[in-house]
Chains A and B, each alone.
Chain A
Amino acid sequence: MTAATPIELTVNGVPRRVGIPPASRLVDVLRDALGLTGTKEGCGEGACGACSVLIDGVLSLSCLVPVAQCHGASIVTIEGLAPAELRRLAPVQRALLEAGGVQCGFCTPGVVLAAHALLQARSRPTLEEIRRALAGNLCRCTGYTAICEAVARAATEP
């Protein structure tokens, strides 16, 4: 595979073909090549979780994933979790608003995807499970309490 080989991946349900150096970081492809700037880059070294996305349903840090490893994969970013045309937020997003779990908002896309992945795996997680699942998502504003409450609240939604 060389720089000229296009990489095919599905992003938020839309098939995409990108001609990009294969070692490029997925976060750069999403933000710069595809214009999906909802995914944030915080630390760029896998410590903050702001760039979290789902790759074939698996929570991953897009700053640590070479795009070549996404060939044939299906990616979900914050833009795809509750598409605008549905005019309805995902339960985790609504709960974060209601519980006051968003302040500056920079960590929020990553938190939403991690929480969503948790709720896919466990429908009624305990507070400890919520804290563990979100341990890789740093928030410098909220102190986490409202975030964890929001995830617990989202879990009770039908």
Chain B
Amino acid sequence: MRSTFGWFRPRTLDESLARLAEDPAPVPIAGGTNLMVQMTEGVLRDGELLDLSGLEEMRGIELAADETRLGALTTYTDVVSHGPLAGRHRLLAAAAAVSGGWAIRNRGTLGGNLANGSPTADTPPALLASDARVELASLRGRRWVGLGDFQTGPRRTLRAADELITRIAVPVPPARAVCFYRKVGTRRGQVIGKVCLAARAEIADGRLAGVRIALGGVAPTAVRARQAESCLEGKELGRSDGIDALDALLDEIAPVDDARSTASYRWRVARALLEQFLESCRSALEKSSGS
């Protein structure tokens, strides 16, 4: 049994922040789906855990007109089972649906997923392609940061030691945007992905607009493929536009060999996923010209 860990269960967010202001050492824990493994493996050996799981202030899904605000303790199951939310944010819903198995989705949280900072996590590409922002709170105040800035490296984030992730805000995407999310791993169910791609685009006057492409598993953090996006923005998606976008990927991702896959396989999959997204865009463009 784990006698080397202390446990502090605050009743309010203020109490949590006060604890961290006085001593930044305690490790915040929510669903525990990552931290409990780190404890089992000995990566985390001792110290105090700050149990956020009872903080109602960090729960809740707020569907405002222009954006959706999700409490950091929102679980994957909360996302998948919330009809209006899943309908509004199809990329996030698709990512949540393939995050872990059912039991993991019941306890793992969006805030925890971002705080953990895994380069292969499933939700960051979907949130990046959705222009999501992260709210950080401390006794010093609250601040909102873009997810791209929040992620600073593998298992590293902008969160200061006295801060907690309290909410995630996701702007409402255009209702008719083409949305594509796919994660590739060794099997379809419950798997840690090798490569994942989340993307969306609107169709305006027979051209692509508002193109967003984000990938996971191919760089130190989830990344936006901004050059590939600009190759597609405003284009009718002729053959060369697609090739330009695929070539642009070369400069934007840097897959490596590791225990789960090889760099060369990740390259092939990343390109194939982008091609699949382009295929979805082509069908949508054809439909829009036919109507």
Contact = CB atoms under 8 A, between A and B. Distances in A.
A132 B103 CA distance: 11
Interface string B43-57: 000000101010000
Interface string B97-109: 0001111101100
Give the secondary structure class of B's interface: mixed
Given A2-B7, A21-B5, A45-B37, A66 B32 contact: yes
Interface residues of A, number: 37
B231 to A, nearest CB: 36
A68 B40 contact: no
B107 A65 contact: yes
B189 A131 contact: yes
Given A44-B40, A46-B37, A66 B100 contact: no
Interface string B33-71: 100110111000000010101000000000000000000
Contacts of B32: 64-66, 69
Given A24-B1, A24-B2, A59 B102 contact: yes
Interface range, B side: 20 to 34
A21 B102 contact: no
B1 A136 contact: no
B153 interface: no
Interface string B189-203: 110000000000000
Contact of A132 (B6, B31, B107, B189): B189
Given A45-B40, A64-B37, A66-B36, A132 B102 contact: yes
- Among B9, B40, B102, max chain A CB count under 10 A is at B102
Interface string A96-132: 0000000000000000001001000000000000011
A52 interface: yes
Interface of B: 1-3, 5-9, 29, 31-33, 36-37, 39-41, 49, 51, 53, 100-104, 106-107, 188-190
20 contacts: A21-B3, A23-B39, A25-B36, A25-B40, A44-B40, A46-B36, A47-B190, A49-B101, A58-B106, A59-B103, A60-B103, A60-B106, A61-B103, A64-B31, A68-B7, A132-B189, A133-B102, A135-B188, A135-B189, A135-B190
